[in-house]
Structure 1
Amino acid sequence: MQKMTLKMLRVRANLSQEEAAKKLDISPSTLSKWEHGKSFPDVPNISKIEELYDTTYSNIIFLSNNTV
């Protein structure tokens, strides 16, 4: 699998931010911050992301404030 951003993974899974946030048990605003590189998920949430999107940490591109 090629590396993808959180937003790309969510879109590929055909989920809205609200739907993905609910599945990850977080707020939509938290997911938005992660997708835009304004904050980063902790280890337990990274595990949830891997499971939801059927991927591994090494295949996820986490944006930083410098790349937005």
Structure 2
Amino acid sequence: MLNSNYNLMISLKSARVNADMTLVEASEKIGVSKSTLIKWEREPWLVNPMNQSRISEVYHIPIDNIRFKNFKN
């Protein structure tokens, strides 16, 4: 059993795929160009808080579960 404080984080691209959306579908629903969404999926730390919230709504995934920060391994 997972600890209730455990916060699963997924990438922005994984969130889109999990929502069963293409780049075109997702970008239209979010209100940005396809090229912008591609850039954000590669560099998610560039997404401003307002767009983070919109992405969360469109993908039906809590904002705290989408990785928007720059984590380097």
Q: TM-score, normalised by structure 2?
A: 0.75
Aligned equivalents of 1:38, 1:46: Cα separation in 2: 9
CA deviation string 1:17-67 (max 9, x = no partner): 111000000000000000001761112111101111122222111364x75
Structure with higher Rg: it is 2
Identity fraction in percent: 35
Residue of structure 1 equivalent to 2:52: 46
Q: What SS is found at the alignment partner of 2:8?
A: coil
What TM-score do you get using the length of structure 1 for normalisation? Answer: 0.80
Root-mean-square deviation over aligned CA pairs: 2.0
Name the CA distance, whole Å, in 2 between partners of 1:33 and 1:14.
Answer: 19
- Partner Cα separation in structure 1 for residue 69 and residue 42 of structure 2: 6
- Number of paired residues? 66
Note the residue ranges of structure 2 that are not aligned, 5 or more in a row: 1-6
Q: Does the CA-based 8 Å contact 1:35-1:62 persist in structure 2?
A: no
- Structure 1: any 5+ residue segments left out of the alignment? none
